[in-house]
Structures are given as structure tokens and as C-alpha cells.
Structure 1
């Protein structure tokens, strides 16, 4: 069993669950979180054992929220995300759920104390932003994706950063996904596969209510600018529900949920999608789908569950089922990790040819079970949150994790209780 040690960047709020961020860049480590007063806080240390320093940047006043941009409320959508560009400047975004763009950039490379609020990126379609995502393309350029609009009525916007001028411009002169004023697309970040295509999966939603998800969809691209269907048919932008490629035509109420959709790859480098929807009996099930290159999709049900994750309504809900992206494990086999509130957790071993489960194995976490048990006495109902650090080029790492405790996700409203602050910890695999 691996031995882990922990260091403490500082205290964080424990009265609601929202995702923080931990990022490695060379021998520097950065973290972003909300302190016990819900104030945006950034930390930095030198690896492997430097002391943490903290900084709290100032934001503008948001009149609609009656609070400044550097203070959050109880909305679990308001996660924080960090990026570091090719010149070493720090970028930070978050605390947004149909809000004006909240974005900070450092004035000096790798210097958190020089983080300053930047009023806009491009200056257009930045008044109702949600779901900020930084990532890098295959040229190493920093990209930024966000939703303009609201749940049930929004478009996906992509920007690209020019480090020479420190300016953002549009990567696309149109939204990538267009809800046509009637819906919005809930997309996963594009994932680059072994075939050098970027692959993206999404579903459409008709309203803020999560049960109105429908029509699982897919597109791929060589350059994130020109997009096509799985058989190579070009897609005109923006992609709408009627023009995109439908993988599964699940209707409203059929069990698609935007937090359970991923893209993985088999041993031949082919894209394999995983998603949740109900079966004919109304039970929750996990499904795989893989394109045949001719415009059709091979789909197989993985699970044989007899329960129903019956979600509905607005606001954030807890992930009662999780499904990992399928990954190749050799010998023409795939594996998928799953967790369920009703049946525990496990790993499916899947025959790559027919996409059927051949074995179910126990799921053992790399992190010892003791770290998943609350031990800070923040509140009897507190749950442990652990998330892996990111490398600044977004390559995977398996040495550092961020750990804290907080009350469960609760539809973006405050719990009727009081908590102590949680100690934020960085776990290190030795």
C-alpha cells in the first residue's frame, strides 16, 4: 500500500461542496480554493517541501449577486480552475454560474501576488458565463471554453490566448454548439485520441431541469476548428441538435445525465463513449457506444442493475453513479471503473470486439481507505473530497492530490447547519 504524507496550504469552507484546483508546473505547485469566509484564495509552494504562501486577489462588484467576484455563495457550479501559459503567466477563472466573466491573470510569471482581475477576454458574450475550462491544443496554445447563456438556453464559446500580446481572441467565429435559443449542449471537454483527432461527446437539455437531457451526440476534429461526424462528413458550425450526429436518441426523461458521459479509446485507438440512461424497464444502466466509421454506432449495455437513479429538478445534484472513461488494457480488453450509491463500486473488464462485460473486479483506490474517512470534526455529515492535481500541460500525474471535507452537494442552497472550516491538505505519494 502506498504511503502518503500531507501538507496544509490553509483552511477552506466546509459548509458546501465546490471543486477547488491543484496544479503542478515544473517545481512549483499552485492551489486555488475558497477560505472559511468563502473568499477566493490562491496558494503556491516550491516542490517537494517548500512552505505555502497565500494571496487573495480582489474582484469587481456583481450587482445581481450583491457580492464581489472574489466571494462565492453556496453554488456548487462555482468551481475554480487554473492555467499557466507558455510564458509562465498564471490564469485563474471560476465563481461563475450565469454571471459576468470572472477571470484573473498574473502580471508576473509564476507570481500569485501579481494576480489581477481582468475585466474581459474578448469583450463580447461574457455577461452570462458558466463552466470555465482551460486546456491546451496540440500546438501548446492555451484555450478557454465556456457556456454563454443558461441551462436550457446557451451556446459553447471557445477562445485562444496569444502570449505575445497577452490577448484573447476567438478560436471560432461562431459558437461550437448552438442551442438555437431553445436548449443548450452539455459537452465534455474535447479529448485528443491516439488517432490525433479531438473527440467530443455532449447531450442537449431543454430546460434547467436535469431530467430534460436528451440526444447523446458526438463530433471529432483534427484542429478544433473544422468538425465532422464519425464517418468523416463535415459539420457546418455552429452544431445544433438537428445538424449534429446523434449517438443515442434518448428523449427527455430517458435518463441521460450530463455528469456521466465520457470519451475513451480501445486498443485500436477507436473512440468509445460511455453514458448513463434508463433501460426499457426504467432501471439505471451504463452503456458503451463505438462508431463503425460508416455512420452507425455499436451500442452495448454494461450493467444489469435493478435500481433507478431518479433525478429531476434544477440546481447541483450529487453524482450517485460515476462511470470512468473506457481505457485499453491490452489483450483486446477494455476496463471501466464504476461507483453506485446502491451497489458499491467495481471495475468491468470488457471484450473489445463485442463491448460486453466478461468479468467484474473489485475497485481498489490508490489512496488508502483511511484518507476517505472524515477525521477533522467539521460536521457529522461532512464528506471527504479528493481530487488529483493537474500538470500545467494537462498530462496525467499520480503523485499529488488535494483533500478536504465539506457538507454534501445541496441544490446550490445553504444547509441549515453550521460547520467548522476544513483543513485543506495536499496528499503526496512517496
Structure 2
């Protein structure tokens, strides 16, 4: 009887909490205002990323609900949400995120829940109407689309929709690019030849393509020999004007497929050298030149942060951290859980300075660099996101945190697309148990509250 009463009390408190969170929270800090609202209860038993997209007055969020079902919601800014659930259900794999993008005619394309899995793809039959989403069982080749991983949707310079994904497995996969024709409503291969070929020995893990300030698309990646994450090596670079024809940083053409011997190497980090996929980032300096951030082991075996930029037609790396007795000795298969260190892309501070934010354990450090020499001028503790977001998220998920003794992680994800009408940014926040090498936990935590936040600088 006591257990029943406790459960009833818990559910009542959850309902009250959700009602309270549907109201507006305002930060009284002079430098920013944050508006927050609850979207839904979501799966929290392991780490999995939702997706937030804003295009003009249209805003979309895609996530896995409390029952593991993929859900897509849409609203006109400031209006109520419309929700729709598709027939795709999450397992225990933290790689199975969801992503989406609008094509030129306003149709939403949703991909996700794939880690060497058959295609999971949904497209609207009516512009901007999530409740018209329908499953599409093939893009180009159903035989090829049986082992899809890491889908990314990109708009090229003509706002044509392009999807890229990995075909195959870790250490032995190929990169596929397709382009969508809005008139025929069909996909076709973007490249006649295979994009990248690990020649049966390795595969590429990519960051980008990212559109630079000059309009070109920039791509960096690491090569990986086996499913063991410690075998990442050879940080590489290529660029393109149209995502079809590719060159190195000196504008010399690269014929497809790209192989290791044809690759422009940014940093020749060897396997087991302390570099990992997902932690290589690309930003741009005041002149629009790409600057690559990564980490590796130094001569003493410590993990250190580096930035690399072309100098006299040669990539030159600069160590910006000076950490002692700190080594992230990662390895193995599956999702690794929370990374002990995570660098972010270079940002411009002013005419003479750049900065790099780095999360080291639970601290957010900001390295301020001389933009000419890339030498570290100062290191300071900062916030990665508006602090009010963490405060609100903690309040909304206090019941979840009190319901289990298991470790829980707080997540904040910046949205993709346009800024808010006031020029601010949109964020999502939620709480989950950590990943477990893509295996089931013994305990399934109660749902987390997925929150939407709007900040104003």
C-alpha cells in the first residue's frame, strides 16, 4: 500500500512539474533572457540525441518519446506544437540519433535510428505538415541501403537537399552522397564513383561538410582501422564548391574515391595516438581560413588540445593546452559514454584573437589565442550554454534525479538553422542515464522532460 501511495504521489508531482514548466521562465541577468517550455516526456534510460530545426517561422523537433517511439513535432514560432509519431522504435544503441531538414518546397525529410541498419526514412506529402509524414523504403538502391549509419542532411548553394551516410561497418565502410530532385521527388547518386575507399583496411569518420564564410564546403575526417575507437589516425582535409568536385587546401583536384594515399593530412596522428572521431572540429579565422581543433597524446603521454592551420602551404599544429597528469586512455567498441574531454570549433573573438572552448571533465575552459601565432594568451572558465538552461532543466527533472541512485547526465543541444526573431538561439535540454556500450542497463529510469529554450544575447 505504501508503494502504491508513493507511486501515486510521484505521478501527481510529475503532472504538477509539467504544468509549472509550461509557463515562462525568465532570466533576470542583464546580458540574456531565456524563455523555456516543456515539449514532452522522453526516453532517458540511455544517451540519445534529439534534433531541433528552425527555418524562418517554422520550427521542428524530432526525438524518441518515453516509449522509445520516434516523434516529430512542428509549430509556427509562438504557436502550439503539433505532434506525430512514426513507426520507428529505439533500441539501446546511442548511435541511433535522428536528423531532419526541409527541401526547397517545404517538405520535411526525417532520417535516423540507424547504426548499420536498413533505411529509416520519412518524408511529408504536404509542405510543413508533420502529420503527413510517410515512410519511404528506398532512396536510390535498396541493396546498398541495408547498413546505413551517421545520416547527415545538407543544403548546397542552390538549396538542394543532399544526404550523406556511411554504408557498411566501423573500420570497413563507404561514404555515400545522394541529391534530391523536388520535381520528380526522387533521389539520385551525387557521385558516379565511390566517395571514399578504405580499401578494406579502414573507414572514415567525418565532421562536416561545413559551409565556410567564403561559400566553400569544408570536410575533415579521421581514418579508423577497426571498431576499436583507439585506432583513429591521420586527421585529413578536403574542400568543395559544389559537394561534387573536391580539392585539397591548395585547390588541387582530388579524384574519387578518396583513399589514404590521396588524402591531405592535417595532422599525422598514429593509431593509439589519443585522437578520436567526434572530437575533431573545424572553424575559421578572421581571414576565412579553416582552423582545425583536435586532441592527441603529447610526448609525455598526456592528452593535449591542438589547433592546426595552413602556413606557407603546409598544415602546422600548435599545442594550446599544457595539462599535466591528464590522459584520456579510451578504447574499445560501442558508445564510450561521456568523453573526458571535448573540444569545440574555433571562434572569432575580435580582430586579433580567436578562442576555443573545451570541456575537460565537468569544467568548460576557454582558450584565448593570438590569431596570428595561434599561441595561447589566456585560459578561463566559462559556460558553454546560458546558465539559466541548466537551472531550469535541473528543476524540471528533479523528480527523475530523486527517483534513482544511478548516475544521470544533463544534456544541452543547440538547435540548427535560423536564429530567433530577436536574434537569439534555440536549445534543447534533457536528462538521461549514460550510454552503456550500446547494451541494456539493468534499470530503466523514468522519462525525462525535454525542454525548449530561447536565449537572447
TM-score (norm 2): 0.87
CA distance in 1, matches of 2:312, 2:185: 41
Matches within 5 A, 1:75-86: 75-86=93-104
What SS does the aligned partner of 2:131 have? helix
The answer to whether residue 93 in structure 2 is matched with residue 93 in structure 1 is: no
CA distance in 1, matches of 2:285, 2:109: 34
CA distance in 2, matches of 1:410, 1:3: 36
Structure number, greater radius of gyration: 2
Matches within 5 A, 1:218-367: 218-292=237-311, 294=313, 296-306=314-324, 307-317=326-336, 318-341=338-361, 344-364=363-383, 365-367=385-387
Contact 1:376 1:423 in 2 (8 A): no
Alpha-carbon shift at residue 392 of structure 1 (Å): 6.7
CA distance in 2, matches of 1:292, 1:196: 21
Residue of structure 1 in register with 2:231 after alignment = 212
Residue of structure 1 in register with 2:210 after alignment = 191
Q: Deviations 1:93-114 (Å, cap 9, x if unpaired)?
A: 0000001111100111111111
CA distance in 2, matches of 1:293, 1:108: 52
Residue of structure 1 in register with 2:450 after alignment = 424
Across the two proteins, how many residue pairs are aligned to each other? Answer: 413
Alpha-carbon shift at residue 413 of structure 1 (Å): 1.2
What SS does the aligned partner of 1:113 have? helix
Gaps of 5+ in 1: 59-69
Alpha-carbon shift at residue 196 of structure 1 (Å): 2.7
Q: Deviations 1:185-238 (Å, cap 9, x if unpaired)?
A: 001111122233221110100011100101111111222111112222221111
Q: Deviations 1:322-368 (Å, cap 9, x if unpaired)?
A: 111112222321111111017x2211110122111011122133242
Contact 1:186 1:204 in 2 (8 A): yes
Residue of structure 2 in register with 1:120 after alignment = 138
Residue of structure 2 in register with 1:370 after alignment = 391
Single out whichever of 137-146 and 368-377 deviates more from structure 2: 368-377
Contact 1:83 1:392 in 2 (8 A): no
Residue of structure 1 in register with 2:18 after alignment = none
Contact 1:195 1:270 in 2 (8 A): no
The answer to whether residue 130 in structure 2 is matched with residue 104 in structure 1 is: no
Residue of structure 2 in register with 1:54 after alignment = 83
> What is the RMSD of the two structures over their aligned residues, measured on CA atoms?
1.7
Q: Which one has the bigger helix percentage? A: 2
Single out whichever of 73-82 and 27-36 deviates more from structure 2: 27-36
1:38 to 63, 68, 80: 68
CA distance in 2, matches of 1:12, 1:100: 24
Contact 2:193 2:256 in 1 (8 A): yes
Residue of structure 2 in register with 1:64 after alignment = none
Gaps of 5+ in 2: 1-28
CA distance in 2, matches of 1:293, 1:21: 40
Alpha-carbon shift at residue 278 of structure 1 (Å): 0.6
Q: Deviations 1:225-262 (Å, cap 9, x if unpaired)?
A: 11112222221111111111112111110011011101
Contact 2:49 2:98 in 1 (8 A): yes
CA distance in 2, matches of 1:389, 1:256: 27
Contact 1:197 1:221 in 2 (8 A): yes
CA distance in 2, matches of 1:116, 1:392: 26
Alpha-carbon shift at residue 92 of structure 1 (Å): 0.3
The answer to whether residue 48 in structure 2 is matched with residue 18 in structure 1 is: yes
Alpha-carbon shift at residue 5 of structure 1 (Å): 3.0
Judging changes above 3 Å, is the alpha-carbon distance between structure 1 residues 168 and 392 closer, same or farther for their aligned structure 2 residues? farther
CA distance in 1, matches of 2:160, 2:418: 12
CA distance in 2, matches of 1:9, 1:273: 35
Alpha-carbon shift at residue 290 of structure 1 (Å): 0.7
Judging changes above 3 Å, is the alpha-carbon distance between structure 1 residues 34 and 275 closer, same or farther for their aligned structure 2 residues? same
CA distance in 1, matches of 2:133, 2:393: 33
CA distance in 1, matches of 2:268, 2:55: 42
CA distance in 2, matches of 1:239, 1:10: 43
Alpha-carbon shift at residue 27 of structure 1 (Å): 2.1
What SS does the aligned partner of 1:377 have? helix
What SS does the aligned partner of 1:242 have? helix
CA distance in 2, matches of 1:303, 1:330: 21
What SS does the aligned partner of 1:18 have? coil
Matches within 5 A, 1:362-401: 362-364=381-383, 365-368=385-388, 369-371=390-392, 373=394, 375-378=397-400, 379-380=404-405, 381-391=407-417, 398-401=424-427
